[in-house]
Structure 1
Amino acid sequence: MMRRAFLVAVLATAFGSPLAAPLAAQRPGLVIQLPAAARVTQDGPLVHARNVLTDARMRELLEAGFPARLRYRVELWSDERFTDELHRTAEWEVLVRWRGTDQRYEVSQRVGERVLSLGTFQHIDDAEAAVERPLRVPLAAPARNRRYYYQASLEVRTLSVSDLDEVNAWLRGELTPAMRGRGNPGTALTRGVRNLTTRLLGGERREYSARSSVFRPPRAD
C-alpha cells in the first residue's frame, strides 16, 4: 500500500510545473518543504534537489556518456526528549543519461521495481529541470501528541563504464547479480578497457542533506 501511494505521488508530481522561484543563483542542495499545518497528518513533505547537475565536472561526465544516479531517502522522526525515534522511510532513485543515438538526455525515476520516464530532453538544463521537480513524499505524520521532523539525504554519483550493465538493468527494473557485484561484467580485455577509461575520466560523487523544522500535528477534535 505504501509503495502504491508513493507511485501515485510520483505520477502526480512528475509532470507538474517546476517551482516558480529561479534557482540558478542558489547553491546545490536538497530542499524539504512541510505541508500546511492543517495537512501534516494527510500529506507528506515536498522534496526536491537544487542545482545538483550544474557542476562543470558533473556535466562533463554526463556529456561524455556517463549516467548520473540520484538516490533519495526521506525519514520521518519524532523529536523525543532523550532519543529520537525513526517512524517511516521512503526511498527512490533518478537516473540521467545521454542517449547518443538520438542526441537527447533521458531522465527516469525508479520507485521499488517500477521505472517511470520523466521525459527526454535536448538540453541538459531541461533535464536538470525535470530532476528538480518537487515530489510529494507520502510520509504523513501520525495524528499523535508528538513533535516530528523530516530528515532527507541525496547521493549524486556519476556511474563508470563498468556500471553500464547496471544502468541497462536499472532501466528494465531488474536486480541482476551483476548489479550486486556478483556477476562477470565481461572478458579480461573488456574489464581492462573499462578500468582504464574509469581511471582516466574518474567518477564524481556528491552528498546532500536537509532537515525540516520540528512540527506538531493538530489535535483531533
Structure 2
Amino acid sequence: MTVIIQSGVPRIQATGLLADGRFVGLMRSGFPLRLHYRLELWRSRSGWFDQFVSDWSWDAVARHDPLADDFVLLRSSGTVTRYGTPDDLERALEIPYRVNLKPKGTGNFYFVCHLEVTTLNDTDLEELTRWLKGDVSPAVSGGGNVGGALARGAQRLLVRIAGLPRLTLEARSETVARAEGN
C-alpha cells in the first residue's frame, strides 16, 4: 500500500490484495471481504509526539455471486460494480483513491493510511450493506434486540477462532511543509 500526495491531496493505492488466492477462495466459499480504510492526517512536531489533526474512513465490500459466477464490489459511495474474474476485481481494488483531506495552517504534515481486510459472515454483511446505503437506524436507535446482538457477537468470535485470514496494512506519506497562504 502507498500514500502519495499529488497537488496537496493524498492518493491511496493498495496492490496485490488478492494475489495469493486466499481471499478469492473465501469469497467463492461464501465469505465476503470487508476492506476498511482509515486515513489520518498528522502534524510533525519537534517533541516526542506528533499531533493528530483529523481522519477519514471508508469501506468497500467484495463478494462472489455464485449464480452469475462473478464478483461484486460495493463501495461507500453506494456504487455496485460487477467483475467477471478475480483479476478484474483486483485491478478495480488497485485503482488509486483520492481523499480530499488537506492540512490547514502552517507546519510539516504527513498522512498515515491503515487498511484492514477481513472476512464477513452473513449478519455482518447485511449490517454493513445497510450502513453503506445510509441506513443507520438500528444501531442509532438501539432497535436491535439483545439476543440478536449476542448471536452476532458469537458469530464474530467463531469467525475469528476459525482462523480465517485477516490482513492489516499501513503506509505513510512523505512529510510536506505547508507555509502560510498555501
For normalisation by structure 2, the TM-score amounts to 0.80
8 Å CA contact 1:162–1:185 kept in 2: the answer is no
CA contact (8 A) 1:68 1:96 kept: yes
From 18, 27, 34, give the equivalent of 2:5.
Answer: 34
Structure 2: how far apart are the matches of 1:161 and 1:200?
A: 17
Within the alignment, does 1:165 sit opposite 2:131 as a pair? no
Q: Secondary structure at the match of 2:78?
A: strand
Corresponding residue number in structure 2 for 1:69: 34
Give how far 1:54 is off.
1.9
Q: Deviations over 1:129-188 (max 9, x none)?
A: 1111111111112252x111111100000113453433543454333648x9x54559x9
In structure 2, the CA distance between the partners of 1:160 and 1:202, relative to structure 1 (3 Å rule), is farther
Question: In 2, Cα distance between the equivalents of 1:45 and 1:142?
Answer: 14
**2:4–2:174 Cα contact (<8 Å) kept:** no
Give the secondary structure class of the aligned counterpart of 2:46.
coil
Unmatched tracts of structure 2, length 5 or more = none
Letter in 1 for 2:46: R
User: Which string of whole-angstrom CA distances, capped at 9 and with x for unpartnered residues, describes residues 191-219 of structure 1?
Assistant: x9x79x95997522110000111110255
Kept in 2: contact 1:159–1:203 (CA 8 A): no
Distance in 1, Cα, partners of 2:26 & 2:73: 16
Distance between the aligned counterparts of 1:167 and 1:142, measured in 2?
A: 32
Aligned residue number for residue 23 of structure 2: 58
In the superposition, relative to structure 1, how do residues 173 and 100 fare at CA in structure 2: closer, same or farther (>3 Å)?
Answer: farther
Q: Specify the alignment match of 1:96 in structure 2.
A: 62
Q: Are the aligned partners of 1:165 and 1:185 in contact in 2 as well (CA < 8 Å)? A: no
Matches within 5 A, 1:5-154: 30-35=1-6, 39-40=7-8, 44-82=9-47, 83-110=49-76, 114-117=77-80, 119-144=81-106, 146-154=107-115
Task: Quickly say closer, same or farther: Cα 1:80–1:131, change in 2 above 3 A.
Answer: same
Deviation at 1:31, TM superposition (A): 1.0
Deviations 1:20-71, CA, capped at 9 Å, x for gaps:
xxxxxxxxxx211111xxx32xxx2110211112232211101112100000
**SS of structure 2 residue aligned to 1:62:** helix
Give the ranges of 4+ consecutive aligned residues of structure 1 lying more than 6 Å apart after TM superposition: none
TM-score (normalizing by structure 1): 0.67
Root-mean-square deviation over aligned CA pairs: 3.1
**How far apart in 1 are the matches of 2:55 and 2:128?**
25
**CA-CA distance at 1:103 after TM superposition:** 1.8
Distance 1:177 1:204, change over 3 A: farther
Partners of 1:69 and 1:96 within 8 A in 2: yes
**Structure 1: 5+ residue stretches without partners:** 1-29
Q: Secondary structure at the match of 1:127?
A: helix
